[in-house]
Structure 1
Amino acid sequence: MRTSVIYTLQEPKFFKKQLLKWAQQYREITFLDSNDYHQQYSSFDTVLAADALTLIKTDNYKAFEDLSAYQKTTRDWIFGYLSYDLKNDTEKLESNNYDGLDFPDLFFFQPKKLFFIKGNQLEIAYLNMCDDELENDFNEILATTVENEDEHTPLAIKQRITKEGYIEKVTQMLEHIHLGDIYEANFCMEFYAEDAIINPYEKYQALNAISEPPFATYFKNYKQYLLSASPERYIRKDESKIISQPIKGTARRSNSIQEDEAIKLELTKNEKERSENIMIVDLVRNDLSRTAKKGSVNVEELCGAYTFKQVHHLISTVVSELDDEYSPVDVIRTSFPMGSMTGAPKISAMQIIEKLEETKRGLYSGAVGYFTPTGDFDFNVVIRSILYNEANKYVSFSVGSAITSKALPEKEYDECLLKAKAMRSVLE
């Protein structure tokens, strides 16, 4: 049982910064923030989980089986991540590309300390609480200073694949499309820095301020960090309802209101961008059907245009009703990784991705989120993110785009640079 207390906050936005700064003392942290972005499906604005009572970390071998056992055993809130390479647990696939980060493939923990923010209401829920611990912690958080302390030297960011190499690889992917091996694939490339020392808290705040996305994440497992400005939900379970919201289709913003609206409108009509989205919607529908009650898979919204601080995106919403014979982890196992980060057909796309990409994706294009005590869950897609291993001083971020038959390699390259802009500006 958790001891729970509710407080009213005077300045929720400032308190969130204090809360995350205060939590740095703990070995395990998951901080999920919606940045007050309006969403149809949401349980809270912000949550912070810290200080593991129990945890599970593993490679991809029988990872979903282990996660299911852990989730059923704890019957509590658990927070963590699923790396892209868990694909190898469900299909005959491999991940043999270079890995400079060396994160576990799966990591979840049961937090002793939980903080939920909704509007100006804060709920604190603790396990194994000592006398006055909760109130003392709350007062400590209110006294935490959050002045900018980021005095680290700007990093020299390197690119794993050159422009010429990128164009050559996308050309090869187009050949696979023309041969009928795939219809679409998400091709990614890594940017990185070696011998890197950064302040993860400060870099997260800077990255989040640029984008203010609905699925922002700060994750820490000892010396391994994820700083994410993700705009995309992978999958959510709300009682028996399953919701997945793939993003495909991107357009730039403009400082001119009229031009910005024209760009957004053009995005909704762009045949290439819409076809990218619709292909993935079909893939997600198929994924959800594997655990859904018959006839319950529906597309609630197709290619809706949504505006973020840096870009416009096309987002679709696919829903289903969970068949009673399947567990919460079954839903994730049968739909992972998110279709927007693979392609169609899914397995063929992942095989070709592995052949052409030069970096193991790891947590990038995986998912971070939580399970509730009743088995509901919510996970993002790890994109627009910085990954940092403090132990080996390696910083990495990757970007990608969807390659279809209509793709022009140089334009796809430019889209990747647009998506990389926020991470580069924060690190360089």
Structure 2
Amino acid sequence: MQCVAQLRTSWRDPVEVLSAFAEEPWAIGFVSGGGGPRGRWSYVARAPEATFTGAPGQDPFEGLAELLGPASLSLADGPPFQGGVAGLACYELGDVVEPLGLSRTGWPDLAAGRYPAVLAFDHELGEVAAVGRGADATAAQAQAERALAWLDLVPEPPAGGALARGLSASDPDAYEAAVAQVVARIHAGEIFQANIARAWSGRLAPGAAPFDLFARLAGQSAAPFAAYLRLPGLAVVSNSPERFLQARDGVVETRPIKGTRPRGRSADEDACLARQLSASDKDRAENLMIVDLMRNDLARVCAPGSVRVPELFAVESFANVHHLVSTVTGRLAAGQGAVDLLRAAFPPGSITGAPKVQAMKVIAGLETPRGPYCGSLFWAGVDGALDSSVLIRTAAFVQDAEGWSVEARAGAGIVADSDPRAERLETEAKIAALLRALEGTAA
């Protein structure tokens, strides 16, 4: 049983702190924007004591469970994440859950590190907690002091101007044709819904780094599940508004997003668009299908009768769009933990479709491998706690001899009465904030 120690100090900005070592392999940050009960905590960590990267022929979930190790105690007055594993689950990890023969690119299905030292930023109290774990009290205290020392590192100033120029978008006509094909397959009874995405790609400007985009997004359009991960030769920058799975004290929550409207140009237009979204039968039906899917996924690992839907069709507003969000909860059954929960529900239903497996087959026939997009950045504590995002509003970076290439995608949930042009415009509304940040243009 590990020991845990905590040291508290005054507030620092988590993005600024992370900037000092953001280019180190395995540097990671979960930075919550917007406040509220889901935006209280941010986390920063570096230099894990062990790592796991899934390889062909392995079960990545078993590797993750081994990396996490046995359950241990946590501090009652500590943050939700008090050390454990954190990392990336790419979309194609779903091929392990339900073998579909999905193609891969250079991204691992799963990559995670075990972090014995973590900085936790309490937005509500305006404090920073340095948390350490070790075999005994002395070792735990040393790890907490190691994390506290990260606050003394010199932050890197963010880059100015354009981070990328001339990003190319996938063919809009081809996307509309793909939407029309999916609508036809829905009418034929093959599926009820599928989330189909478009891609934007290009290269970062010389001297620009992935973290520059993360810092800029945090300042321009902060999101509750923003996250950053630097891997060797790879990086993920996410400005996601969507929670995938949370577990704490055995209680599970997922908050699928389905239904979107752009923000208005005036307060009156903005309120009108939000009302339209709330009243839309199409968007409610789309949302309800995914709620039912997530209820079924949670029921695989939750106690019988414990899965509930306490909130349905809530309108939540973000920097660029309004979304329709529902909440599904449950209680983990005896013997089930965070890794079991991830396996049961991956990939997120909101970005696949219904039925999930057949929707994934449709997606695979229309898109190139997604990699990080529509996967998850997550942390899992040694005390059984878990939180994770859905990797939408996300850019994936690959490093080569000439610098960094970047790809970002945006998708739309296609249902029986979807209009191809309207769905294409929805993808453009969703990607707009990320493109503005990359290209250095004003809103």
Q: Does 1:92 align with 2:99?
A: yes
Q: Which amino acid aligns with 1:408?
A: D
Number of residue pairs matched by the alignment: 417
Distance 1:156 1:322, change over 3 A: same
1:415 Cα deviation (Å)? Answer: 0.6
Q: Is 2:244–2:255's contact at 8 Å kept on the other side of the alignment?
A: yes
Q: Is 1:114–1:125's contact at 8 Å kept on the other side of the alignment?
A: yes
- Counterpart-to-counterpart distance in 2, 1:167 and 1:27: 39
Q: Is 1:364–1:385's contact at 8 Å kept on the other side of the alignment?
A: yes
2:86 aligns with 79
Q: Does 1:108 align with 2:108?
A: no
1:133 Cα deviation (Å)? Answer: 8.7
Q: Does 1:121 align with 2:117?
A: no
1:151 Cα deviation (Å)? Answer: 5.8
Q: Does 1:299 align with 2:309?
A: yes
1:322 aligns with 332
Provide, for residues 73-99 of structure 1, a one-character-per-residue CA deviation record: whole Å limited to 9, x for no partner.
5865111111110111111212227x3
Q: Which shows bigger deviation, 75-84 or 341-350?
A: 75-84
- Counterpart-to-counterpart distance in 2, 1:201 and 1:388: 10
> 1:9-408 counterparts in 2 under 5 A?
9=11, 12=12, 15-24=13-22, 26-39=24-37, 41=38, 44-59=40-55, 61-73=58-70, 76-96=83-103, 99=105, 102-118=106-122, 119-126=125-132, 138=148, 141-142=151-152, 144-150=154-160, 154-159=164-169, 161-194=170-203, 197=206, 198-357=208-367, 359-391=368-400, 393-408=404-419
RMSD, aligned CA: 2.4
Provide, for residues 5-60 of structure 1, a one-character-per-residue CA deviation record: whole Å limited to 9, x for no partner.
11122xx4xx3232111223632111111114313x56x42111111110101146
Q: Is 2:117–2:146's contact at 8 Å kept on the other side of the alignment?
A: no
Q: Which amino acid aligns with 1:29?
A: A
Provide, for residues 185-214 of structure 1, a one-character-per-residue CA deviation record: whole Å limited to 9, x for no partner.
000121111586532222111122232110
Provide, for residues 353-373 of structure 1, a one-character-per-residue CA deviation record: whole Å limited to 9, x for no partner.
10111x211111001111111
- Counterpart-to-counterpart distance in 1, 2:375 and 2:326: 19
Q: Which amino acid aligns with 1:120?
A: G
Q: Is 1:67–1:329's contact at 8 Å kept on the other side of the alignment?
A: yes
1:3 Cα deviation (Å)? Answer: 4.3
- Counterpart-to-counterpart distance in 2, 1:82 and 1:295: 29
Distance 1:394 1:73, change over 3 A: farther
- Counterpart-to-counterpart distance in 1, 2:212 and 2:314: 33
- Counterpart-to-counterpart distance in 1, 2:340 and 2:149: 41
1:406 Cα deviation (Å)? Answer: 1.0
Distance 1:320 1:228, change over 3 A: same
Distance 1:69 1:142, change over 3 A: closer
- Counterpart-to-counterpart distance in 2, 1:417 and 1:367: 22
- Counterpart-to-counterpart distance in 2, 1:374 and 1:403: 39
Q: Does 1:427 align with 2:433?
A: no
Q: Which amino acid aligns with 1:57?
A: T
1:319 Cα deviation (Å)? Answer: 0.5
- Counterpart-to-counterpart distance in 2, 1:134 and 1:68: 24
- Counterpart-to-counterpart distance in 1, 2:285 and 2:142: 57
TM-score by length of 1: 0.91
Q: Is 1:152–1:199's contact at 8 Å kept on the other side of the alignment?
A: no
Distance 1:166 1:71, change over 3 A: same
- Counterpart-to-counterpart distance in 1, 2:163 and 2:372: 26
State the SS of the aligned residue for 1:314: strand
Distance 1:138 1:280, change over 3 A: same
TM-score by length of 2: 0.88
- Counterpart-to-counterpart distance in 2, 1:339 and 1:211: 25
2:79 aligns with none
1:113 Cα deviation (Å)? Answer: 3.1
Q: Which amino acid aligns with 1:110?
A: R
Q: Is 2:133–2:144's contact at 8 Å kept on the other side of the alignment?
A: no
Q: Is 1:50–1:112's contact at 8 Å kept on the other side of the alignment?
A: no
- Counterpart-to-counterpart distance in 2, 1:145 and 1:53: 23
Q: Is 1:18–1:142's contact at 8 Å kept on the other side of the alignment?
A: no
Q: Which runs of 5+ in 1 are unaligned?
A: none
State the SS of the aligned residue for 2:67: helix
1:348 Cα deviation (Å)? Answer: 0.5
- Counterpart-to-counterpart distance in 2, 1:367 and 1:46: 16
Q: Which amino acid aligns with 1:67?
A: L
Q: Which shows bigger deviation, 248-257 or 150-159?
A: 150-159
Distance 1:314 1:412, change over 3 A: same
Q: Which runs of 5+ in 2 are unaligned?
A: 73-82
- Counterpart-to-counterpart distance in 2, 1:375 and 1:132: 23
2:78 aligns with none
2:75 aligns with none
Q: Is 2:91–2:370's contact at 8 Å kept on the other side of the alignment?
A: yes
Q: Which amino acid aligns with 2:287?
A: N
1:390 Cα deviation (Å)? Answer: 2.0
State the SS of the aligned residue for 1:52: coil
Q: Which amino acid aligns with 1:381?
A: V
State the SS of the aligned residue for 1:390: strand
